[in-house]
Amino acid sequence: MKIKRILGAATGMVLGLATDLAHAAYELNLQTPETPIAGQIYHLHTLIMYVVLAIFVVVFGAMFYSIYAHRKSRGHQAAHFHENTTVEVIWTIIPFFILIGMAFPATKTVLAMKDTSSPDMTVKVTGFQWKWEYDYLQEGIHFFSNLSTPRDQIDNKVAKDAHYLLEVDHPLVVPTGKKIRMLVTADDVIHSWSVPAFGVKQDAIPGFIRDTWFKVEKPGIYRGQCSELCGKDHGFMPVVVEAKTPEDYAKWLADEKAKMAAVVEDPNKVYTLDEMKSKGEKVFTSHCAACHQASGMGIPGAFPALNGSKIATGDKAAHIDRVMNGKPGTAMAAFAAQLSDTEIAAVITYERNAWSNHTGDVIQPSEIKALRK
Amino acid sequence: MDATHAHDHGHDHHPSGLMRWVKTTNHKDIGTLYLWFALIMFFFAGSLAMMIRAELFEPGMQFVHPEFFNQLTTMHGLIMIFGVIMPAFTGFANWQVPLMIGAPDMAFPRMNNWSFWLLPVAAIFLIGEFFLPGGAVAGGWTMYPPLFIQGGVSYDLTIFAVHIMGASSIMGSINIITTILNMRAPGMTMMKMPMFVWTWLITAYLLIATMPVLAGAVTMLLTDRHFGTHFFNAAGGGDPVMFQHIFWFFGHPEVYILILPAFGIISQIIPTFARKPLFGYASMVYATGSIAILSFIVWGHHMFTVGMPAAGQLFFMYSTMLIAVPTGVKVFNWVATMWKGSMTFETPMLFAVAFVCLFTMGGFSGLVLAITPVDIQLQDTYYVVAHFHYVLVSGALFSIFAGAYYWLPKWTGHMYDEKLGKLHFWLSVISMNILFFPMHFLGLAGMPRRVPDYALQFTQFNQIASIGGFIFGASQLIFLIVVLKAVRGGAKATDKVWEGAEGLEWTVPSPAPYHTFETAPMVK
Ligand code: HEM
Ligand SMILES: [Cu+2]
């Protein structure tokens, strides 16, 4: 019975694999380059591949010929030579020239990649555990960009969609044909902002700002991922860039500004418990659930549970302090700078009244405002 | 030398039972301890890799949660490097260096005992972390702050374990250097030493130069974690990138520590089975030396994406490319050694030939990664994972297999099972390529490393890699069987086990008696 089932599962797996293999679009090379820099990288890689293949064929051709022809079983007698200065000098010098041939175009590309001068536009990107924040410095708008793949897809409960793990709620939007300079930094640990089709990968280092640039010609959606181990959700931190024509971009920008103006909150407004709870749940889902889980149970040993926790059910001031200022030395970030007064008040209210927590406390935005220096 | 005399004498001081192994100061016993330790750790770290490959068989989270996945990769990497490859090479050094240079033992036998026994202590700390609250360390074997500062108590234990392993390596290196420089048989000049002895001499210097650097880096991590220093914290005036500079100043020479002894082993084996002296002995020595020296000025190639200035990127690109020259010389010399030889292909030679071919492929992907702009595309993707496994598995590990098969008859006195050895070889070499070759494509297509889950377009190659991984993992059990069989019996090995073998180790009986060379042999 059991054996049959195991066998059945195994055949299923093999069949599934075989059909997968038959339909797969095997990608054997770098992603299609979409910027001039990525194009240069692509060609550099191709050039090196030719060089490497040629060396491979020559050297291992000789080796395998020798293995074939100079075997004892074929009666070959060993020769006795064991050095030859001329040969050794030649095979030291030739590689040297090959390397110079490769270094020359590579140097040109390095210099081009590093030239971030005179951009048309500058965006600051900040890495957080585990989301990106985009700050349009001249335009005055900013937003967070979170993974939007539903948890159920990750847990294999529902089918995965085409852009599984490479989709976000709020992509970076940029105009085509413009030189865009990215200022890259991080808030907690090192992340790396990377979009392969642009040839861009820049580490985001807390406390330091580094820059990089790209100029994309074709409107479209370009996808990448965080590329530096940054903790448990490192694999769930996509970068999505949407390039729009300058006209569409202008429209998007106007919309975005209007939206931001509409949600300006009055920090002195007084809310009811239910209002705060429902606002707070949204904040919790996008900023807190990654570690503490939607169930509030955390991950034992790594991330504490909030359900029934001493902080979330005890002294209000300590709870507010933890959310605003984080806990240094752990993955618990300081949210004071990331969230508005209303958002902080709301999420704390939610945490104090969700799951089995029933403190009945309502935190008002004005309390948070008073705590800010 | 009178072998009978050596044997008689040996009986007088031959301790037995468990305490023989705990208290031993005999280089052969200690070599054996190192080798068994490495083998056990290999199966442990290998089973972690099997879990990684099982989780990555399909997209979605199947068996483990992301935090545990990071613990798996971190521990797998740390233990493979510090618990498998390095101890295995040290085991070879303990067994072979005295035998090859005609010395009766290592220079400091008591310290030798200590260097070994520190290792199990460190291993217990590392493995024990899995049972602590919060689990084992999950910050990557590179231990980058600030992520590493965030962790719990197992991060402190890791730092402690690294200190202990570092102390062990330094003591071992001092012993090896002193032995080689002072205890060579009369007539064995430096330029007559076997290649394996040369490579270990240079490796030992690399260890002494870099281990303290690592110790310093992790000590700074420790004080940042607990004593309010801010070496790597920008808020206190520190710099997280400084850690990477210090770490890789150790880390890059470290990767040569993991490969130079391999060069040595291969340079012993190829001449034996080609029945022809090593081609270009002198240039082999100089090439090894140049690689060691160059290894200190290329660390920046691990950090091309941190945003160093163009001048820095160019310097590290050029210096890295330069290493290809002496490495190329070594490969050409091996091929020239085989050229017009009279070759046979026993298991050690098979592994040696696979080493030359596959290690070179790892070298080629290294050359691709040396080109800064291309590296920026590939850094922290599976391309890098493919690259370093080609040099570590088909390089370091295969050389260890080659050496083990080569010297097993000398160590145990019995021939190993050639059929099983060949089976182990073919399964390993084929599955190793199924496992790691597709990772090049994954990396080119942009799959980041150290991720527990991935986008759909990466599925097929991951499945192929996982299947290769399971076959590779299972094949290693054959090796265990071969070793156990040879230890317990088998055809009696002659003194000079291999027809084409040269060197002092082949002048003593097999198994090598407990005490050898009490009267130094003369080398002409
Ligand atoms: C059974 C054979 C092996 C398999 C299946 C295997 C597989 C893997 C995988 C899947 C990773 C994780 C890659 C990532 O997500 O970044 C990894 C990392 C690593 N492996 Fe292996 N590996 C094997 C043998 C070895 C050996 C023999 C070494 C020798 C030293 C080694 C050294 C490393 C290192 C240093 C890392 C990086 C760890 C880190 O990211 O911190 N592996 N391996
Ligand atoms: Cu990240």
Angle at A146 between CA A145 and CA A152, to 5 degrees: 155
Q: Both tokens of residue A291?
A: 């570690």
Nearest to B290 by CA among B318, B316, B325: B325
Instruction: Count CA atoms closer than 13 A to A111's CA, side-chain side.
Output: 5
Interface of B with A in 481-500 (CB under 8 A): 500
Contact yes or no for A320/A363 (Cβ under 8 A): yes
Q: Which amino acid is at A278?
A: S
**Residue B252: active-site member:** yes
Interface of A with B in 325-354 (CB under 8 A): 329-331
Q: Which residue has the tokens 């083990």?
A: B404
- What integer pLDDT is reported at residue B489 of this predicted model? 86
- What integer pLDDT is reported at residue B13 of this predicted model? 58
Please name every residue paired with A173 in a beta bridge, in sequence order, or none if there are none.
A242
C-alpha to C-alpha distance for A130 and A289, rounded to whole angstroms:
11
Contact yes or no for B182/B144 (Cβ under 8 A): no
Domain assignment present for residue A164? The answer is yes
User: pLDDT digit string (tens) for A50-96?
Assistant: 999 999 999 999 999 999 999 998 888 888 888 888 999 999 999 99
Nearest to A142 by CA among A164, A159, A125: A125
* Most ligand 1 atoms within 8 A of CB, residue of B355, B381, B389 to mutate: B389
C-alpha to C-alpha distance for A150 and B80, rounded to whole angstroms:
36
Same domain, A105 and A155: no
The CATH number of residue B441's host domain is: 1.20.210.10
Nearest to A172 by CA among A208, A200, A207: A200
Burial of A138 (0-12, 13-18, 19+ CB in 10 A): exposed
**Residue B9: active-site member:** no
The 3-state DSSP class for residue A220 equals strand
**Residue B76: active-site member:** yes
Counted domains in chain B: 1
List the residue whose alpha carbon is closest to atom 2 of ligand 1. B46
Domain assignment present for residue A4? The answer is no
Smallest Cβ distance to A83: which of B152, B279, B305?
B279
- What integer pLDDT is reported at residue B15 of this predicted model? 67
Whether residue B60 lies within 8 A of chain A, CB to CB, comes out as: yes
The answer, yes or no, to whether any atom of ligand 1 lies below 6 A from the CB of B379, is: no
Domain assignment present for residue A31? The answer is no
What count of other Cβ atoms lies within 10 Å of the Cβ of residue A255? 10
Average pLDDT over residues B42-69: 94
The answer, yes or no, to whether any atom of ligand 1 lies below 6 A from the CB of B469, is: yes
* pLDDT of A216 strictly over 50: yes
* pLDDT of A336 strictly over 70: yes
Domain assignment present for residue A78? The answer is no
**CA B284 to chain CA mean position, Å:** 20
Q: Which amino acid is at A123?
A: V
Residues in chain A: 373
- Out of A263, A291, A314, a domain closes at A263
Does residue B146 have a cis bond before it (omega within 30 degrees)?
yes
Please name every residue paired with B42 in a beta bridge, in sequence order, or none if there are none.
none
Q: Which ligand is nearest to the CA of A226?
A: 2
* pLDDT of A23 strictly over 60: no
Backbone angles phi, psi at A131, to 5 degrees: -160, 165
The answer, yes or no, to whether any atom of ligand 1 lies below 6 A from the CB of B434, is: no
Active-site pick, B173, B203, B320, B327: B327
Domain extent for B341: 24-506
Domain assignment present for residue B472? The answer is yes
User: pLDDT digit string (tens) for A257-285?
Assistant: 888 887 777 777 888 888 888 888 888 88
Query: How does residue A3 score in pLDDT terms, banded at 50, 70 and 90?
Result: low
The CATH number of residue A258's host domain is: 2.60.40.420
* pLDDT of B66 strictly over 80: yes
The answer, yes or no, to whether any atom of ligand 1 lies below 6 A from the CB of B353, is: no
Angle at A153 between CA A149 and CA A154, to 5 degrees: 85
Please name every residue paired with A145 in a beta bridge, in sequence order, or none if there are none.
A132
User: pLDDT digit string (tens) for A86-124?
Assistant: 999 999 999 999 999 999 999 999 999 999 999 999 999
Mean per-residue pLDDT of chain A:
87
* pLDDT of A25 strictly over 70: no
Residues of B in contact with A26 (CB under 8 A): 441, 460-461
Strands of chain A (E only): list them.
121-128, 131-136, 141-145, 172-175, 180-186, 191-195, 200-204, 210-214, 220-225, 238-244
Domain assignment present for residue B350? The answer is yes
- What integer pLDDT is reported at residue A366 of this predicted model? 84
User: pLDDT digit string (tens) for B86-124?
Assistant: 999 999 999 999 999 999 999 999 999 999 999 999 999
- Please list, in sequence order, all residues whose beta carbon lies within 8 angstroms of the beta carbon of residue B391, skipping any fewer than 6 positions away: B255, B259, B359, B362, B363, B366
- What integer pLDDT is reported at residue A1 of this predicted model? 39
Does residue A130 have a cis bond before it (omega within 30 degrees)?
yes
Contact yes or no for B98/B517 (Cβ under 8 A): yes
- Out of A245, A263, A281, a domain closes at A263
Backbone angles phi, psi at B315, to 5 degrees: -55, -50
What count of other Cβ atoms lies within 10 Å of the Cβ of residue B5? 12
Same domain, A132 and A249: yes
- What integer pLDDT is reported at residue A329 of this predicted model? 67
B/e letters for A181-191, b = 16+ CB within 10 Å, e = fewer, are bbbbbbbbbbb
* pLDDT of A373 strictly over 70: no
Report every protein residue that has its C-beta within 5 angstroms of ion ligand 2: A 191, 226, 230, 237
Contact yes or no for B324/A95 (Cβ under 8 A): yes
**Residue B179: active-site member:** no
CA distance A347 to chain B (A): 24
Average pLDDT over residues B9-31: 77
Same domain, A165 and A206: yes
Domain assignment present for residue B12? The answer is no
Domain assignment present for residue A156? The answer is yes
Query: How does residue B470 score in pLDDT terms, banded at 50, 70 and 90?
Result: very high
Rounded to the nearest angstrom, the distance between the alpha carbon of B452 and the centre of ligand 1 is 14
- Out of A114, A134, A168, a domain closes at A114
Domain assignment present for residue B516? The answer is no
Stretch among A136-145, A219-228, A345-354, A364-373 having the lowest mean pLDDT = A364-373
Cβ within 8 Å, pair B281-A82 = yes
* pLDDT of A8 strictly over 70: no
Backbone angle region of A360, left / alpha / beta, with phi > 0 → left and psi within -120 to 50 → alpha: left
**Residue B239: active-site member:** no
Same domain, A345 and A222: no
Same domain, A103 and A125: no
Q: Both tokens of residue B323?
A: 């290493």
Domain assignment present for residue B237? The answer is yes
Average pLDDT over residues B273-284: 93
Domain assignment present for residue B88? The answer is yes
Same domain, A226 and A349: no
Domain assignment present for residue A255? The answer is yes
Backbone angles phi, psi at A211, to 5 degrees: -130, 160
Whether residue A54 lies within 8 A of chain B, CB to CB, comes out as: no
Active-site pick, B198, B256, B334, B406: B256
Residues of A in contact with B339 (CB under 8 A): 62, 66, 70, 79
Domain assignment present for residue A283? The answer is yes
Q: Both tokens of residue A325?
A: 């200022």
Cβ within 8 Å, pair A203-B278 = no
Domain extent for A220: 121-263
H/E run at residue A292: helix A289-292
Pairing of strands A210-214, A220-225: unpaired
Whether residue A184 lies within 8 A of chain B, CB to CB, comes out as: yes
Interface of A with B in 252-291 (CB under 8 A): none
Domain assignment present for residue B523? The answer is no
Cβ within 8 Å, pair A63-B353 = yes
Active-site pick, B29, B129, B254, B375: B254
Q: Both tokens of residue B228?
A: 């309010």
Domain assignment present for residue B312? The answer is yes
Backbone angle region of A176, left / alpha / beta, with phi > 0 → left and psi within -120 to 50 → alpha: beta
The answer, yes or no, to whether any atom of ligand 1 lies below 6 A from the CB of B49, is: yes
Residues in chain B: 524
The 3-state DSSP class for residue B25 equals coil
Mutate to test the interface with B, among A14, A31, A60, A63 (most CBs of B within 10 A): A63
User: pLDDT digit string (tens) for B197-254?
Assistant: 999 999 999 999 999 999 999 999 999 999 989 999 998 899 999 999 999 999 999 9
Query: How does residue B18 score in pLDDT terms, banded at 50, 70 and 90?
Result: confident
C-alpha to C-alpha distance for A343 and A281, rounded to whole angstroms:
10
Counted domains in chain A: 3
Pairing of strands A180-186, A172-175: unpaired
Higher pLDDT among residues A336 and B245, named by residue: B245
List the residue whose alpha carbon is closest to atom 33 of ligand 1. B77
Residues of B in contact with A80 (CB under 8 A): 276-277
Query: How does residue A316 score in pLDDT terms, banded at 50, 70 and 90?
Result: confident
Q: Percent of chain B having pLDDT more than 90?
A: 88
- What integer pLDDT is reported at residue B124 of this predicted model? 95
* pLDDT of B12 strictly over 60: no
